[in-house]
Amino acid sequence: MKGSRWLVDSLRAKQPFNKELGQHFLVNDELIDFSVSHAALSSKDHVLEIGAGPGVLTEALLNSNSKVTAIEIDEIAVKHLKEIFAPEIEQKKLEIIEGDALKVKWPQGISKVIANIPYQISSPLIEKLTKYLREQKDKVLDMILLLVQEEFGERLVMEYESDVGSLGMTALLDWESKIIRKVPPHNFSPNPKVNSCFIEMIPSHEVFPCDKRLVKQVIHSTFSQRRKKIRTTLKSVPKRINRVPQWHSSRWKKAYSTLVDDERLECRPEELDFDEWIGLCCDLEKNSA
């Protein structure tokens, strides 16, 4: 093994780190090994890595005998990866996809996603992961392990009361998430200004009695004005309600009118738990049919 320091120094010799891409590379081999061992990888797994950078995680993933697909947006980093891992690419153990992970098409059959992701794409990446999960016909995706900014991880799992928001609530529609380890800045090169953490996300495959897309719309709409009572926010038709099949402005107004005396509408968004959001959306669907 070349090791994380060698791989990072090798890429650094080819170009300075790109701050715009959020390049903070993990250089603690024990933490890299921890992420791979926690995922319990085997030769049957097809792992997706997002933002491979110098290849510190890529090397560890390949040592687990899993098939690896790595997505990297930086052209020089892609060239570096293709040089370092030329034998593995030749043997078809590794595929490098150059491009933006939020835009390129992901391969089918991914069983696990393990990545140290740039902080600025955390929220849209969760959206992409959720879309991929819902569209995956074989349902082989069974685990996500991401190294993210600690503050983002806390909001995702809603660790504290102050973290309750649309990110964590909508994630519950598809995932069981938890923080499994915190990572201080000195484990990265260059050091970020914030703490990080590993988050684990397991697909729940839970089926709800109402459309998940409606629940997401309602939660996003209300939390975007979280200081207002739910009644005030939902009185206006959500901007993207037409994206939910069979929903439109007239149907929304009819549904809202039937709940005008509902005491749940007197609450502010953070006062409802997840089951209450599901119940509210079920009532909106039923009363507008």
DSSP 181-233: EEE-GGGEESPPSS-EEEEEEEE-----SS-HHHHHHHHHHHHTTTTS-HHHH
Greater pLDDT, 193 or 38:
38
**Number of folded domains that form the chain:** 2
Structure tokens at 41: 């990888």
Quote the pLDDT of residue 14: 86
169-217 tens-digit pLDDT: 999 999 999 999 999 999 998 888 899 999 999 999 999 999 999 999 9
Report the chain's mean pLDDT, rounded to a whole number.
94
59-76 tens-digit pLDDT: 999 999 999 999 999 999
The answer on 73 and 34 residing in a single domain is yes
The answer on 220 and 186 residing in a single domain is no
The answer on 84 and 176 residing in a single domain is yes
Question: What is the C-alpha to C-alpha distance for residues 138 and 73, in angstroms, rounded to an integer?
Answer: 28
- Global pTM reads 0.92
Quote the pLDDT of residue 256: 95
* Domain that residue 163 falls in: 4-203
Domain boundary among 203, 233, 258: 203
The answer on 225 and 168 residing in a single domain is no
Domain boundary among 155, 181, 203: 203
